[in-house]
Amino acid sequence: MSKPIPYPVLNDDEPVRQFNELDASLTYSYSNYLNWLFPERVELIKGKIFKMSPAPSRVHQEVAGSIFLKLGNFLVGKPCKVYSAPFDVRFPKESKADKDVYTVLQPDICVICDKSKLDARGCIGAPDLVVEVLSPGNTKMELLNKYRVYEEFGVKEYWVVSQSDQNILIYTLNKEGKFQPSKIFTLSEKITSSVLPGFELALDDVFEDL
C-alpha cells in the first residue's frame, strides 16, 4: 500500500479562507487543518476531508445536551472530563507531531480520563467514551468510518444515540480490541457504563418533551 502524498504545508501567512479551495483528492494533515479559516466544520479521516452536516437540529442539541449534563453532573469531583462538540480529538498513529496526524474528529460528546491526553487544542489520543447523536443527514459511510476509527484507536466505549428512534446502542471494546454491541436500549430503560462505574442514564430523561 503506497504512502499518501501529504499536501504541502502552508505558510502561516497563507490561510485557506474558502472551503472550495481544498482538493478532496489530496491527503491533509492536522498541520493543514490548523490553517483552515473557513466557517464550514470538517473532520479528517486518514487525511481525507469529511464535511460535517449543517448546524445540528434543535432535537439533536436537546438530546446531546441532556446526555452531556448528566455526564457532567456525575463527573463533578472525579478525574474524568467531559467535552462537547466542537472539540478536536486527534488520533495519532505514531508521532504526535501536527504534520503526522491525519485523523481529527469532533465527537458530539467525549469523556477523557487520562489528563495527559489533553492540551490547549483539545485531545490527542483516544477518549475513554465517545457519544455520537445521529442526525437524519448522517450517512452510513460516515458512521462506518467513525466506528472504524474509534475501534482502531481503542475508544473503550462508544454510544450511538438515535434521536428519531429514541434509542441507544453501546459498543464496548473487548480484550481483542474489537467492539462488541449491546442490545438496543429504548424508552423506560436505563443504561450504565463500564468506563464510568456507578453512572446511570435513564432514556426517558434523554428523550422526554421532544
Amino acid at 146: K
Report pLDDT for 166: 95
Report pLDDT for 24: 87
Q: Please name which of 132, 123, 50, 49 lies closest in space to residue 88, comparing C-alpha atoms.
A: 123
Which residues are registered as beta bridge partners of 200? 192
Per-residue pLDDT of the chain in tens (210 residues, 90 and over written 9): 556 555 455 445 578 999 999 998 999 999 999 999 999 999 999 999 998 877 778 999 999 999 999 999 999 999 999 999 999 999 999 899 999 999 999 999 999 999 999 999 999 999 999 999 998 767 677 789 999 999 999 999 999 999 989 999 999 999 999 999 999 999 999 999 999 999 999 999 999 877
CA distance 69 to 111: 12
Q: Please name which of 143, 157, 49, 151 lies closest in space to residue 103, comparing C-alpha atoms.
A: 49
Report pLDDT for 85: 94
Tell me if 167 sits within 8 A of 151, measured CB to CB: no
Report pLDDT for 11: 47
Report pLDDT for 4: 59
Complete DSSP assignment for 14-64: --B--GGGS-TTSB--HHHHTTB-SSS-EEEETTEEEEPPSSPPHHHHHHH
